[in-house]
Structure 1
Amino acid sequence: MQLRGTGVGSGIAVGTVVRMADPLPEPPDRRSEADPETELERARASLAATAADLTARGSAAGGAAKDVLEAQALMAADPSLATEVETRVRAGSTAERAVFDAFVGYRDMLAGMGGYLAERAPDLDDVSQRVRAHLAGVPAPGVPAPGHPFVLVAGDLSPADTAALDLDQVLAVVTAEGGPTSHTAILAREKSIVAVVGAAGAVDLADGDLVVVDAGADAVIASPDGEELADAERRIAARAARAAAPVEPGRLSDGTPVPLLANLGSADGAAEAVRLGAEGVGLFRTEFVFLDADVAPTVDEQRAEYARLLEAFPGRKVVVRVLDAGADKPLSFVNDDDEPNPALGLRGIRALRAAEQVLRDQLTALARAASETDAELQVMAPMVATVEETRYFVALARELGIGVAGVMVETPAAALIADRVLAVADFASIGTNDLTQYTMAADRLLGSVAALQDPWHPAVLRLIGEVGEAGAEAGRPVGICGEAAADPLLALVLVGLGATSLSMSPSALGDVRASLREFDRADVAGLAREALAAEGAAEARAAVRAAVEAMRADRGPGSLNQAR
């Protein structure tokens, strides 16, 4: 039996299933026999203890997990929720029931909003579970510890559980719920965990079942036969051999260079990216400098953070995306308007132009940081849609002392006029996540349309090809900095469409490097044509996979990489 879901990364694992314990049951809806003040004190103590525990877990985990767990801690400490709990307790509810009802109310409200907020609704369920477990004096439902390596199967994983996974024991994660932007997927990608999320049939897997979790194929194989097991073991061994091999620059088999760069959200991940073979940084997200601030950070505060990153890549290219505020990252000092559809509103370069001093300060800080280090700084503007926006950003970067300025191609408009955009910009970097969202009219943060959020769709690939062709004609580099670059199979197509560099989560560098070295320029151009000729995303993926397997068969057993 094969279950379909959304793979995170391209890894593969074999192991026996251990299911996550069921969540706490709904507490009975009855009047409390205790004094309301006593019940209220119990509720307050458990909310505070849960917030403190989540904060401590976040500090221990670090990285993206720290941000996620701190956000959950804020939920537990939210004054509005505390008021809702108090109102219910004073009306006669038990502390357990008051907490349950208050959190369910907020959860349903977020779920009804759609988009990013809907994706965060399950986090409230987890906080509620933890508060009620504290009230009951029992351990919060969490990851089992059977004493042997296992494949964890759950309805979904909370951020706290994902962050605390023991990677020596958990071979892979399979969830019945969740999409590509769920916290399970985000943290699994950061921790290099083999995972398939949104596999609805996972609810039918039982403890002890043997499974193959194939993230690269978006599949879970239950009760695999001997041939399927042998294929999985061979691919696991091949990945291990690649990981142990000396790291070399990215290139095709004919020597064509394809620099492989890292996507980073802070300087904390720089050392690990270098260790894994990143040849530079293709996307440095600067939002972390701004998101916890009530006012824009000063030039000196920003300069220190940027210098810390640049120092980790002496002599190497570091592409920094200026602040991408708006949509799911609202900032009061940039744009605090209540927009009915912020993804189509004042975000990216539009928001920065409306608050130009913020942009000027950031570019000034970046220029000063670059002057103190040996890195090759490049900057790019997010959400560019017009030539005029391109001209504005490039001129401002030049004015403030930055020599190389480009744009992100995330809108179909920018892709369709890429020739004119690249007549002004020094380079283009394609953000495949947003480009897919806007091409397919499918919110990339909404699980209900996750199937449409697929960069393999020929409509998306055609737009990427437009940019690649424009870059070649203008002699301008065209990078890919969306997560599409982390797919070893799709990476071949992207290079065939004209991408000159690929940037991704550092954990994906090894697989993509090996995939590229197996094919030459003619091969990847042919694979791009196969993908463009398909009717849809699934058909494009299948056609390219079949073409790759045919090429390997023609060349014999010498091809070791498995780009699946």
Structure 2
Amino acid sequence: MLRLSGVGVSDGRAAGPVVRVAEPLPEPPASPAVTDPSAEAARISPAAETVANGLFARAAGVEGDAKAVLETTAAMAMDPSLSSRAEQLVNQRGLPAPRAVLEAANEFAESLRATGGYLAERVRDVHDVRDRIIAELLGVRPPGVPTLLEPSVLLARDLAPADTADLDPDLVLALVTEEGGPTSHTAILARSLGIPAVVAVRGLLAETSAVAAEVDGDGGTVSLSEEPVEVRSPERIDTTGWTGDGGTSDGERVKILANVGAAADTTAAVSAGAEGVGLFRTEFCYLAAQDEPDVATQRAAYAEVLEPFAGKPVVVRTLDAGADKPLGFLDTGAEPNPALGVRGLRVAFDRPDVLDRQLEAIAAAAEDSGAEVSVMAPMVATPEEAAWFTERARTAGITRAGVMVEIPAAALIASELLEAVDFVSVGTNDLAQYVFAADRQLGALAGLNDPWQPALLRLIAMIGRAGAETGKPVGVCGEAAADPLLGRVLVGLGVRSLSMVATAVPAVGSALAGVSLRACERAARDALAAPDVATAKAAARAAFE
């Protein structure tokens, strides 16, 4: 057997025959120039519509988060801006339709990649839609997961949401990818389904002779075999006991919440039994706008997301935009290092009017919907910034205000920060990226962005202690919360709300309900003492066993 290493992102062990996910189609050529540009351009919209209809048909057969993912991808395929830009390239440059779709989609993907963070993670979705439309134009089978005839281990370069949304967990033993990281869609999906997964496995696709694999999601290893192996299915967390009330077996209350970014996400969160929303990303209301949406427009958009959670807690994050997430009406100018520039709450210091209008809309939407709304600000570094935000929130009529802890400085002064706000929520994705100076989009640095890194856990422990000392709650809204084992460790570190992708809610809630607070604290102590990721995970697991 050939043993390869990567980053384990979903625990468990499994073995069985391998099935390779088809690679993307070859890049369509830009020549010869078409002789009838009008007729060629006219092919694009029908192809996009066919792709969208196919995705909508798949969505009709599933529920919850899978349905939301497929519908969102279908809507992206139908986006008129993509088709119109491709048609423009055909008419202006005489490009064949497949090539025009490639270039138009790549332009869109590059603009998302430049924004960084959550939006940059949508680049894979754009590429998926692009490849599906190109395949339709060429009359060939689109790349993606083939039909599985027996329980198998999937090997892929990476997986798009639409590839995996309706996977049958009874047929997928494990997921292994050459690219991706701890916050990739593959990682999120695998954790939610209880499927062992290892990502960022260099050299995986070069081993074409392997017919079987043994996957260790705990240790982050994959053993490839040229001979069949005995099929071994992973043990999965029983989620049937999830009641919708989060907490430990001895009665310590821990809210199990969902991260949402649009109305479709809220539907999935309700279906999963989330107790509320720990992170409502409001950027969706601004992305397609050339001008700032007025208060009435924002109010209606927010209310649509909030209404399903009437009477339940929802934490709304104010606009997280700026130099690394450019919006047309926020001209922050060019910066040499946008990721460390004017973004998040820092934009509001120069444009407080934009923040005030958003807070006004959020307060009105809260009244319209009946949800118990709190607000929190992104990219806060000092207590002075936190106090400034809290005062503006109160002036807008929002009584509960908090901040994100995603900058190391904020973690180091968590006690002083909590004196200025009502709560804090740790964004583990960005916090890890800044702690390790490692872009979370780079597969080569995926190991540094592993939320089990002891340095990251020690920062979270500091924040948890500050919360206990001040009597104010600490939450986690990064993807670290979606790991059932790590979620229990976070509770042991003092975290009292876990917010995650909707599909992970039942597994995390059920896992936490099966252990005591003392066991969580013991596992946290052992993980904190570990020198590396593997030892930390093993120590936590041993503590619960």
**TM-score band w.r.t. shorter chain:** 0.7 to 0.9
Structure 2 alignment gaps of length 5 or more: 60-66
Rounded Cα–Cα distance in structure 2 between residues aligned with 1:473 and 1:172: 42
Q: Which moved more, 1:201-210 or 1:515-524?
A: 201-210
Q: How does 1:124-523 map to 2 (within 5 A)?
A: 133-134=135-136, 136-145=138-147, 147=149, 150-158=152-160, 161-162=163-164, 173-182=175-184, 195-203=197-205, 209-211=211-213, 215=217, 218-220=220-222, 222=224, 232-233=233-234, 235-236=235-236, 239=237, 242-326=238-322, 329-523=325-519
Task: Report the number of matched residues.
Answer: 534
8 Å CA contact 1:264–1:283 kept in 2: the answer is: yes
- In 2, are the aligned partners of 1:50 and 1:130 still within 8 Å (CA)? no
Q: Give the partner amino acid of 1:398.
A: R
Match of 1:557 in 2: none
In structure 2, do the counterparts of structure 1 residues 247 and 157 end up closer, same or farther at CA, with 3 Å as the change threshold?
A: same
Residue aligning to 1:20: 21
Q: Per-residue deviation at 1:425?
A: 0.4
| 1:493-540 superposed Cα distances (whole Å, 9 cap, x missing partner) | 212221122111122223222332343333322322222222233332
Secondary structure of the structure 1 residue equivalent to 2:419: coil
Quote the Cα distance in structure 2 between the aligned partners of 1:477 and 1:361.
27
How many Å apart are 1:345 and its aligned residue? 1.0
SS at match of 1:465: helix
**Mean CA deviation greater in 434-443 or 251-260:** 251-260
- The residue that corresponds to 2:6 in the other structure is 5
Q: 1:321 to 1:272 in 2, by over 3 A?
A: same
Worse overlay, 397-406 or 259-268: 259-268
Q: Is the 8 A contact 1:20 1:144 kept in 2?
A: yes
Give the Cα–Cα distance (whole angstroms) in 1 for the partners of residues 255 and 105 of structure 2. 48
In the superposition, relative to structure 1, how do residues 337 and 269 fare at CA in structure 2: closer, same or farther (>3 Å)?
Answer: same
Which shows bigger deviation, 299-308 or 135-144? Answer: 135-144
Identity, % of aligned positions: 47
- Give the structure-2-normalised TM-score: 0.82
2:527 matches 1:526: no
Query: Within 2, Cα distance between the matches of 1:276 and 1:72?
Result: 26
Question: Does the C-alpha gap of structure 1 residues 159 and 312 become closer, same or farther in structure 2, counting only changes over 3 Å?
Answer: closer
Paired with 2:339 and 2:421, the residues of 1 have a C-alpha distance of 24
C-alpha offsets along residues 41-100 of structure 1, whole Å, 9 cap, x if unaligned? 6753555555444555566656355555655776854748964996586xxxxx499669
Equivalent residue for 1:38? 35
The separation in 1 between residues aligned to 2:277 and 2:49, in whole angstroms, is 35
Which residue is 2:62 aligned to?
Answer: none
Preserved contact between residue 258 and residue 269 of structure 2 (Cα < 8 Å): yes
Which residue number in structure 2 is paired with residue 92 of structure 1? none
Q: For 2:391 and 2:120, how far apart are their aligned partners in 1?
A: 39
Distance change >3 Å, CA 429–CA 168, structure 1 → 2: same
For 1:53 and 1:25, the matched residues in 2 are separated by: 21
Q: Is the contact between residue 114 and residue 120 of structure 2 (CA under 8 Å) also seen in structure 1? A: yes
Take 1:118 and 1:268, find their aligned partners in 2: how far apart are those partners?
A: 20
> Deviation at 1:350?
0.7
Q: What corresponds to 1:558 in structure 2?
A: none
* Structure 1 residues 228 and 507: CA distance shift in structure 2, 3 A: farther
Show CA shifts across 1:395-439 (max 9, x none).
011111011111111111111111111111011111111111111
Gap change, CA 1:434 and 1:57, over 3 Å in 2: farther
Could you list the runs of 5+ residues in structure 1 that have no partner in the other structure? 90-94, 553-564
Shift of 1:293: 1.5
Query: Cα deviation per residue 1:367-386 (whole Å; 9 max; x = unaligned)?
Result: 12222344321111111101
Aligned 8 A contact 1:353 1:359 in 2: no
Counterpart residue type for residue 538 of structure 2: A
Query: Aligned equivalents of 1:373 and 1:405: distance in 2?
Result: 18
Checking the alignment, whether the CA contact within 8 Å between 2:188 and 2:501 is kept in structure 1 is no
Between the aligned partners of 2:210 and 2:112, the Cα distance in structure 1 is 34
For 2:98 and 2:267, the matched residues in 1 are separated by: 47
Q: Are the structure 2 counterparts of residues 144 and 320 from structure 1 closer, same or farther at C-alpha, using a change threshold of 3 Å? A: same
- Counterpart CA distance in 2 for 1:58 and 1:263 is 23
Change (3 A) 1:184 1:48: farther
Residues 85 and 102, structure 1, Cα contact 8 Å, conserved in 2: no
Query: Following the alignment from structure 1 to structure 2, what is the Cα–Cα distance between the partners of residues 22 and 511?
Result: 31
CA distance in structure 2 between the aligned counterparts of 1:111 and 1:274, rounded to whole angstroms: 28
> Which fold has the larger relative contact order, with Cα–Cα distance below 8 Å and residues 6 or more apart in sequence?
2
Mapped to 1, the partners of 2:182 and 2:175 lie a distance apart of 14
Higher mean C-alpha displacement, 427-436 vs 453-462? 453-462
Distance 1:374 1:469, change over 3 A: same
Secondary structure class of the residue paired with 1:153: strand
Distance in structure 1 (CA, Å) of the matches to 2:311 and 2:137: 55
What is the TM-score with the length of structure 1 in the denominator? 0.80
Shift of 1:248: 4.8
Q: Supply the distance in 2 between the matched residues of 1:268 and 1:501 (Cα, whole angstroms).
A: 22
Q: 1:280 to 1:224 in 2, by over 3 A?
A: farther
- Structure 1 residue 344: Cα displacement: 0.8
Counterparts of 1:513 and 1:183 in 2: how far apart (Å)?
Answer: 20
Separation (CA, whole Å) in 1 of partners of 2:469 and 2:69 = 39
Pairwise CA distance, 1:14:
5.9
Which residue of the other structure, out of 526, 533, 539, is the alignment partner of 1:543?
539
Secondary structure, aligned partner of 1:389: helix
AA matched with 1:280: G
Tell me how far apart the structure 1 counterparts of residues 532 and 217 of structure 2 sit (CA, whole Å). 20
SS of the equivalent of 2:319 reads: coil
More off after superposition, 305-314 vs 58-67: 58-67
Q: 1:119 to 1:480 in 2, by over 3 A?
A: closer
What amino acid does structure 1 have at the position aligned with 2:142?
Answer: A
Letter in 2 for 1:391: A
1:112 & 1:379 partners in 2: Cα distance?
27
Give the secondary-structure state (helix, strand or coil) at the position aligned to 2:180. coil
1:379 to 1:136, Cα distance in 2 relative to 1, 3 A: closer
Cα 1:286/1:521, change in 2 over 3 Å: same
